[in-house]
């Protein structure tokens, strides 16, 4: 691989020794000096690849038994490193606010800012190193985030262009800067740029579930956790100190994340028999997401190992190929079956176990 990039920098031995995926890790996790060097090498490698590409014919289309959806992103050429831009909202609603940490800047010592920066790097790394995706849009878009959005704001969101995190009011929520939450919001960006899932009813609950899945994978991967060691919680520790609950949602046991006098009982179902029909929350998108969430958890639990590897690849591929913004749970389940067949093969144990996972939540495929 190194040879294909060309060894044009004799003064930089790393360029010909360290493969790009390791450079990306160094760019994200190394100390300031190492990270700067790794970023510079990656940029140099990308430029060299572009230069080479001008002199070669494009490769033939992939023959993988299926055509990618129009919005699918091919594994990125020139995939380099994130371009993070963290802003401070100063308690106001205007976005993005004041730029406080740009890519490559030293840590600020402000916990919210540094968590947003580091978290964005972890999520970028998940999509880049595991699935070959260059940022949320697949084309290297900057990762813009605002911390301290509004005042006592009990929410975090993706607005189509950037992430925004409130501080919480200190009573119901104490923070939103937790890696599964950051991964969730950024995954909304990936979903948007993968053809989208309309944010209401079943397609909206799928949008929410896929965001939870990649939020959980971001966290587990950053901790190096095996499937059976993970807690499968989304938003662990973000609830206020007086709230009786461990997290916002549980993929392992939907409906059990909290039970509190103020918040009531976690309303998530894990089976289609308990699907909630409501006009609130865009048709219960944060409620019914418990069903596909649990199917993903069950699949991981059967397979074992690392969730971001085969299970994550299956979910990512299914998202890339879906091409149906109004997909139902059934259609999504079918798409994941197509994906596992393409990745692991027809009739394999992985395909059998995925079918079993969907069946257990009440979806027959």
Partner 1 sequence: MIIDITAQGGFGGITAAAMKKTIDVDQQPRQMQQELCDAFEPRELQRLTRTPCPDCADRLTYRITVTEGQENPQVFTLREDQLPPEMLDLIDQM
Task: Please give the residue ranges that form the binding site for partner 1 (CB under 8 A).
Answer: 91-95, 150-160, 172-173, 176, 181, 184-185, 188, 192, 196, 199, 207-208, 211, 235, 248, 262-264, 280-282, 285-287
Q: Measured between alpha carbons, how far is residue 332 from residues 138, 203, 270, 350 in Å?
A: 22, 9, 16, 17
Question: Binding to Zn ion by residue 211, rule CB under 5 A?
Answer: yes
* Identified catalytic residue from 71, 286, 294, 350: 286
Nearer to partner 1, 154 or 301 (CB): 154
Q: Which of 103, 178, 185, 350 is catalytic?
A: 185
Min dist. Cβ of residue 185 to Zn ion (A): 7
- Supply φ then ψ for residue 287, to 5 degrees: -100, -60
* From partner 1, Zn ion, none, interface partner of 21 (C-beta below 5 to 8 A by class): none
281 vs 334, beta carbon nearer partner 1: 281
Q: Are 257 and 248 in contact (CB under 8 A)?
A: yes
CA distance 41 to 142: 19
Could you tell which of Zn ion, partner 1, none binds residue 331, using a CB distance below 5 to 8 A set by kind? none
For 354, residues 6+ apart whose C-beta sits below 8 A from its C-beta are 299, 314, 336, 337, 340
Nearer to partner 1, 106 or 261 (CB): 261
Task: Decide: is 123 part of the binding site for Zn ion (CB under 5 A).
Answer: no
Active site residue 185: yes
292 close to 205: Cβ distance less than 8 angstroms: yes
Note if 350 is an active site residue: no
* Contact region with Zn ion (CB under 5 A), list: 13-21, 25-33, 96-104, 211-219: 211-219
x/- contact string, 268-287, with Zn ion (CB under 5 A)? Answer: --------------------
Q: How far is the CB of 279 from Zn ion (least distance, A)?
A: 18
Residue 38 binds Zn ion (CB under 5 A)? no
The answer to whether 87 and 98 have CB atoms below 8 angstroms apart is yes
Kind and range of the H or E run holding 330: helix 329-344
Nearer to Zn ion, 211 or 303 (CB): 211
The SS3 call for residue 113 is: helix
**Could you give the residue ranges of the DSSP H alpha helices within 155-200?**
179-192
Cβ atoms of 321 and 343 within 8 Å: the answer is no
Q: Which stretches of the chain bind Zn ion, using CB under 5 A?
A: 211
What residues are labeled active site? 185, 286
């Amino acid at each position: 691989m190194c040879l294909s990039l060309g060894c044009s920098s004799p003064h930089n031995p790393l360029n010909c020794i360290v493969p790009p995926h390791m450079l990306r890790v160094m760019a994200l996790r190394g100390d300031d000096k190492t990270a700067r060097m790794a970023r510079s090498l990656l940029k140099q490698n990308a430029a060299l690849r572009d230069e080479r590409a001008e002199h070669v014919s494009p490769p033939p289309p992939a023959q993988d038994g299926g055509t990618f959806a129009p919005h699918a992103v091919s594994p990125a050429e020139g995939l380099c490193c994130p371009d993070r831009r963290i802003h401070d909202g100063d308690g106001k609603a205007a976005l993005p606010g004041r730029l406080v940490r740009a890519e490559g800047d030293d840590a600020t010592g402000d916990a919210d800012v540094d968590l947003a920066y580091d978290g964005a790097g972890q999520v970028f790394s998940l999509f880049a190193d595991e699935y070959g995706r260059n940022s949320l849009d697949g084309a290297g878009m900057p990762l813009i985030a605002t911390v301290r959005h509004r005042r006592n704001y009990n929410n975090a969101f993706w607005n189509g262009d950037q992430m925004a995190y409130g501080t919480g009011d200190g009573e119901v929520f104490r923070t939103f800067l937790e890696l599964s939450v950051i991964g969730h919001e950024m995954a909304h960006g990936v979903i948007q740029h993968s053809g989208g899932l309309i944010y209401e009813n079943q397609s909206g609950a799928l949008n929410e579930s896929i965001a939870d899945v990649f939020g959980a994978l971001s966290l587990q991967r950053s901790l190096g956790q095996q499937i059976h060691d993970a807690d499968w919680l989304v938003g662990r520790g973000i609830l206020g100190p007086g709230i009786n609950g461990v997290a916002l949602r549980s993929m392992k046991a939907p409906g059990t994340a909290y039970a509190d006098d103020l918040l009531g009982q976690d309303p998530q179902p894990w089976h289609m028999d308990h699907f909630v029909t409501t006009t609130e929350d865009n048709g219960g998108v944060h409620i019914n997401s418990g069903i596909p969430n649990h199917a993903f958890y069950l699949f991981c639990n059967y397979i074992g190992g690392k969730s971001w590897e085969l299970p994550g690849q299956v979910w990512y591929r299914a998202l890339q190929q879906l091409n149906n913004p109004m997909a139902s749970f059934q259609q999504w389940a079918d798409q994941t079956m197509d994906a596992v067949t393409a990745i692991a093969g027809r009739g394999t144990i992985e395909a059998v176990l995925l079918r079993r996972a969907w069946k257990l939540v009440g979806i027959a495929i």
